[in-house]
């Protein structure tokens, strides 16, 4: 049984529920609402006479159930914190307030919560990427170190200035190749830890500048995939589901952050 709830204000609680093999039911403050579904829309009136409408939206990527009251989109209880407070003075506010009654702080439309939710999702994804980069870097450091130590042992038997056969069209001396080989595993650790730190900084920055932070994180994530794919084409398909999911969450976050910006003018 699926259930979506909206708390429009103190006196208005709307529930849309659907049990298997039965039709959708709309309840207003615990009482069933008498109205008809016309295609994907369900229009009714609230106790105080305001017009309300529930619309079922679905496309290939997402499924949304939108409630509008007086033409304003009302986010459901998954998006809105139960204890609503003014961000400026922490006084209690109502979902449909456009300004705080205590300090006059401009609050925006209720739709802001939907954008905030996507931004929070994207920020969590960025934090997850930070953790993954760090773990990957440390694991690869130890995996690669075993391989490079074998190569270094071979190189150690040769004099520093001996010129080697060209590798990928470029000739190196033994000393040059030694630093390159050393950096095979050290570089992996340094680079991945750096990416991890960058992602952490972006996750922190997204508190203030969500759109810019998520855009940069998305660009870095895409570029890292391309770098890995250049080094080894097989990496494209590794963890493809997680990668697509991360990209989808980030893009949703960009859309959410964009809507926040537009709502605030």
Partner 1 sequence: MDSETPAPANCAKCGTALRADARFCARCGTRCSPAEPESLAVAESAHPPKDTWVAEPVATTERWDDLRAVAWLYGLLLLTSLICGWGYSVNPDGDFVFWTTLVDAAVITGFAVYYRNEILPLLHPSGFDGRAGTMLAIAAAVQFVGLGIAFYLLEKAGVPVERVTDEIQRHDYSVWQLFALYSLAPAVFEEIAFRGVIYERLRRVLGEREGWLVQAAFFSVLHLSPIIFPTHFAMGLILGWLRMRTRSLLPGMVLHGAWNAAVILLELYQ
Can residue 32 be called a binding residue for partner 1 (CB under 8 A)? no
As measured in angstroms, the least distance from the Cβ of 147 to partner 1 is: 17
Query: d(Cα 178, Cα 140) in Å, to the nearest integer?
Result: 19
Coil, strand, or helix at residue 9? strand
Element (H, E) at 139: helix 112-156
Binding mask 188-207 for partner 1 (x = CB under 8 A): --xx--xx--x---------
Residue 85, both tokens = 């407070």
The one segment of 17-25, 151-159, 176-184, 237-245 that binds partner 1 by CB under 8 A? 176-184
Q: Is 160 in the site for partner 1 (CB under 8 A)?
A: no
Is 179 a binding residue for partner 1 by CB under 8 A? The answer is: yes
Tokens of 209: 């500048």
Q: Does residue 247 touch partner 1 according to CB under 8 A?
A: no
Contacting range for partner 1; rule: CB under 8 A; set: 77-85, 124-132, 161-169, 239-247: 161-169
Task: Could you list the beta-strand ranges (E) of the chain.
Answer: 2-9, 12-18, 25-28, 31-32, 37-38, 41-45, 51-58, 63-69, 72-74
Q: Can residue 240 be called a binding residue for partner 1 (CB under 8 A)?
A: no
Contact between 41 and partner 1 (CB under 8 A)?
A: no
Distance of alpha carbon 156 from alpha carbon 160, whole angstroms: 8
Cα–Cα distance for residue pair 196/242, rounded to 1 Å: 17
Binding residues for partner 1 (CB under 8 A) = 88-89, 93-94, 97-106, 166, 168-171, 176, 179-180, 182-183, 187, 190-191, 194-195, 198, 209, 211-212, 215-216, 219-220, 222-224, 226-227, 229-230, 233, 254-255, 258-259, 261-262, 265
């Amino acid at each position: 049984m699926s259930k979506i709830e909206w708390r429009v204000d103190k006196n208005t609680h709307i529930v849309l529920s659907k049990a298997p093999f039965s039709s959708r039911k709309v309840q207003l403050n615990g009482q069933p609402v008498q109205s008809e579904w016309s295609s994907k829309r369900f229009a009714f009136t609230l106790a105080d006479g305001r017009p309300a409408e529930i619309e079922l939206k679905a496309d290939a990527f997402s499924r949304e159930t939108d409630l509008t009251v007086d033409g304003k989109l009302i986010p459901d209880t998954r998006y809105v914190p139960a204890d609503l407070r003014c961000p400026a003075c922490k006084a209690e506010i109502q979902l449909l307030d456009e300004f705080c009654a205590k300090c006059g702080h401009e609050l925006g439309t209720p739709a802001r919560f939907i954008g905030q939710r996507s931004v929070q999702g994207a920020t969590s994804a960025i934090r997850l990427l930070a953790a993954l980069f760090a773990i990957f870097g440390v694991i690869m450091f130890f995996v690669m170190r075993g391989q490079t130590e074998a190569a270094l042992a071979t190189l150690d038997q040769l004099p520093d200035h001996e010129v080697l056969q060209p590798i990928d069209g470029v000739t190196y001396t033994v000393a040059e190749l030694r630093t390159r080989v050393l950096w095979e595993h050290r570089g992996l650790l340094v680079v991945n830890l750096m990416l991890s730190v960058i992602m952490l900084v972006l996750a922190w920055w997204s508190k203030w500048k969500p759109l810019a932070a998520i855009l940069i994180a998305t660009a870095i994530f895409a570029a890292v995939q391309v770098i890995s794919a250049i080094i080894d084409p097989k990496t494209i398909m590794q963890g493809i589901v997680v990668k697509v999911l991360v990209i989808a969450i980030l893009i949703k976050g960009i859309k959410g952050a964009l809507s926040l910006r537009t709502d605030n003018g």
